[in-house]
Amino acid sequence: MSWELFADPSLFRLAVAMAVPLVLASAGEVLMERGGILNVAVEGMVTLGAAAAFLAGFATGSTWVGFTAAAAAGVLVASVLAHYAVVWRQEQVTVGLTLYVLCLGLASLLYRVVVGVRLSPPRVETLQPVSLPVLSQVPVLGEVLFRQHALVYLSAAVVAAAHVLLFRTALGLRLRSVGENPVAADTVGVDVFRLRRAAAAAGGALVGLAGASLPFTLTGTFTEGIAGGRGWIALMLVIFGRWTPAGAAGGALLFAYVEALQFKLAMTSRAVPPQFLQMLPYLFAVAVLVRAYRGAQAPGALGKPYHREARA
Amino acid sequence: MTTGAAPRGGWQAAWPYAGALAIALAVLAGLVAALGGNASEALAGVFRAAFGTGAGLGQTLNKTTPLLLGSLAVVLGLRAGVFNIGVDGQIYAGAVAATGAAFLLADVPRAVALPGVLLAGLAGGAAWGLLPGLLRARMGVNEIFVTVMLNFVALFLVEYLSTGPWNDPTAGEAITRAIPPQATLPWLFARAGAHAGVLLALAAAGGVWLLLYRTVFGYELRATGDNPSAALVGGVPVARVVAVALVASGALAGLAGAVEVSGFHYRLILGLSPGYGMMAILIAVLSRRHPLLAVPAALGFAALLVGTDSLQRSVGLPASAVFVVQAALLLVLLAVEGVRRAR
């Protein structure tokens, strides 16, 4: 095995493409957590988004309808979670885990109802790479960054937009204050409840889109285990990135690199059984997590319901 | 989830459960109708399949075993204030260890082999709970992530063993060779096909109850879960309690894996746990984190599982539909509780 494998431009190109679902899902989760809502249903929502996207795309033949369906599914589930968390003040991890199980069940149920039982699984067309003019001609970087499918560019735009929204606008400041100290935010007239629900809906749409990216860019099909832990990893990336969209995206690239490397190694190396290579990203995630927890400071009111009439 | 809600006794406490069950069954009927089946016939079929025949009852008891052990694992964690989402991985880890022990103990009598297999299952699950326990105790790493990641590691380990070194070459699929007969669990009701695992699970429920409510460690564990800072001030070694709770939680799940191997499949297979760990979380919440209330909840979920299995054959309801029904049941219950609180 040659060490050039680890720095191969095609490996970086694959890693950038594989980072898309992680970037979108973690950006969505950052928005929700900044507002104070902890959503542990991400893995389920990614799976449901993948199913909704695949089925809508399969039924209509339109990629756009697929993406819309996935985003809608994400908004719906996140809004249910937000209602339980904000209005009913239920424990968010409990509700989130229940929704996680519900989403997993719904995803394969919907698939079965729409597709039925077939000998060979139906496929949707995956997105083709779009070369950006001029930029794609830059040596190495052009191939890695600018000959990608449209979702890669969209993800970059989402991260930039989420960053500006959170840290450069009044709305972002209000959202962060709602997640940090809802009593103070309420005192100065910020609508804590509405802002939390809005952040949940926006985040849910992004998590749904993350799911849609799986069938439309990586697999072309839907299977029950399609999310493969990416939702959970997105949740960890939020901590890794210190609750910033850009930090989480950086972690996503790092993680996607290990994932892509595992693919390449499985193709070239026969010495190690493939299952042990497949374990690598998950063990890597645990190792990264240990590092990420050092000094991590979550939003002050994360996971805590806001009760106006309760004494502090 | 129990905080804030006024304690209610007797029938007043029971009606949300009855309502939630009714709505869950309505969801199930709706699913059957969506697949073109006859809803009322299907619901009757669910009850017949789960309770109506000796064999059905046997299957219900067999499914109760991993569900009860798994939910006890979750309950133990929740009482210490930690979420063990890795029950599935721990079930697989226990199953791997139990299968390995069964192969090693091929030449010894049952009186040695069977306890050896079960102990190996406990140890395998405990080993899977050790890493999240240590990371949580020493570095404050959230156990949810570590337990979930280890689920995937365990799955790939089982895939490797069942297709590789332990593979049964005559089977042509991802299953291992059968374990020797003296490593198998005896029957409880042979004609119904119910193995004795359910007795182990019931004993475990009693054991967890004793541990929680009749030992010093159980007191410290509950204190840690209820208010860790107060417990720490009161002299409870909070970090150690949490680590031990996660290891013990893993051991319970590992025992479930050993029972599945030695009582039901007689080998290690991929798909040994059809999401028992996820159902275990729902059961633990449903039973209000109480080890004895987990018994009826696990039995009910097992009946749903067996019943929907029969619908899989008759109307083609996919296996995953049971998740929808079970999660819907819990969501309704949480909503009822929430509405009461918001009022």
- CA distances B328 to A103, A155, B28, B305, B332, Å, are 10, 33, 10, 14, 6
- The pLDDT tens digits for B154-183 are 999 999 999 999 999 888 888 999 999 999
Three-class DSSP category at B167? strand
CA pair distance A90, B199, nearest whole angstrom: 35
Strands B194-195 and A147-148: unpaired
Sign of CA dihedral B49, B51, B52, B54: positive
pLDDT of residue A196: 96
DSSP state of B187: E
Nearest to A278 among B146, B156, B334 (CB): B156
Cβ <8 Å between B338 and A94: no
User: At residue A260, does pLDDT exceed 80?
Assistant: yes
Smallest CA–CA distance from A111 into chain B, residue: B318
User: Which fold, A3-9+19-115+150-292?
Assistant: ABC transporter involved in vitamin B12 uptake, BtuC (1.10.3470)
Cβ <8 Å between B342 and A87: yes
Q: Residue B205: which of B295, B282, B123 has the closest Cα?
A: B295
- pTM of this prediction? 0.94
B162 touches B96 (CB < 8 A):
no
B310 touches B49 (CB < 8 A):
yes
**What's the start-to-end Cα distance of chain B, in Å?**
16
Residues in chain A: 312
> 206-245 in A: which are within 8 Å (CB) of B?
224, 228-229, 232, 235-236, 239
A108 touches chain B (CB under 8 A): yes
- The pLDDT tens digits for A133-160 are 888 888 888 888 888 888 999 999 999 9
The alpha carbon of residue A9 is apart from the nearest alpha carbon of chain B, in Å, by: 29
Taking contacts as CB-CB distances below 8 angstroms, the residues of chain A near B278 are 100-101, 104
CA pair distance B312, A112, nearest whole angstrom: 12
Ranges of chain B whose pLDDT falls below 50: 1-8
A273 touches chain B (CB under 8 A): yes
Percent of chain B with pLDDT over 70: 97
Q: Residue A77: which of A52, A55, A48, A105 has the closest Cα?
A: A48
Smallest CA–CA distance from B156 into chain A, residue: A275
Nearest to B152 among A91, A100, A282 (CB): A282
Residues in chain B: 343
Interface ipTM: 0.93
For residue A239, the one-letter residue type is I
pLDDT of residue B11: 62
- CA distances B319 to B308, B313, B330, Å, are 7, 10, 19
> H/E/C letters for each residue in A160-198?
HHHHHHHHHCHHHHHHHHHHHCHHHHHHCCCCHHHHHHH
Residue ranges per structural domain of chain B: 38-342
The alpha carbon of residue B182 is apart from the nearest alpha carbon of chain A, in Å, by: 31
| Cβ neighbours of residue A71 closer than 8 Å, sequence gap 6 or more | A49, A205, A206, A208, A209, A212
The alpha carbon of residue A272 is apart from the nearest alpha carbon of chain B, in Å, by: 11
Computed on alpha carbons and rounded to an integer, the radius of gyration of chain A in Å comes to: 20
Instruction: Kindly provide the b/e burial profile for residues B307-323, where b requires at least 16 CB atoms within 10 angstroms of the residue's own CB.
Output: bbbbbeeebebbbbbbb
**What's the start-to-end Cα distance of chain A, in Å?**
61
Cβ <8 Å between B149 and A293: no
Q: Residue B129: which of B245, B237, B220 has the closest Cα?
A: B245
| Cβ neighbours of residue B133 closer than 8 Å, sequence gap 6 or more | B143, B242, B243, B244, B245, B246, B247, B250
- CA distances A259 to A223, A241, A271, B148, Å, are 19, 18, 18, 17
Average pLDDT over residues A18-38: 97
Computed on alpha carbons and rounded to an integer, the radius of gyration of chain B in Å comes to: 20
Taking contacts as CB-CB distances below 8 angstroms, the residues of chain A near B83 are 93, 97
A27 touches chain B (CB under 8 A): no
Residue ranges per structural domain of chain A: 3-9+19-115+150-292
Taking contacts as CB-CB distances below 8 angstroms, the residues of chain B near A89 are 4, 338, 341-342
User: At residue A1, does pLDDT exceed 60?
Assistant: no
For residue A242, the one-letter residue type is R
DSSP states of A194-215: HHHHHHHHHHHHHHHHHHHHII
Average pLDDT over residues A238-261: 95
B41 touches B310 (CB < 8 A):
no
Nearest to A275 among B148, B160, B285 (CB): B160
- Residue B112 tokens read as 């040695």
CA count, 13 A, side-chain hemisphere, B95 = 33
Sign of CA dihedral A143, A149, A152, A153: positive
Nearest to A97 among B35, B164, B281 (CB): B281
CA pair distance B337, B36, nearest whole angstrom: 34
Query: Hunting for tokens 């040596």 — which residue is that?
Result: A139
In CATH, the architecture of B38-342 is Orthogonal Bundle (1.10)
- The pLDDT tens digits for A267-303 are 887 788 889 999 999 999 999 999 888 878 889 899 8
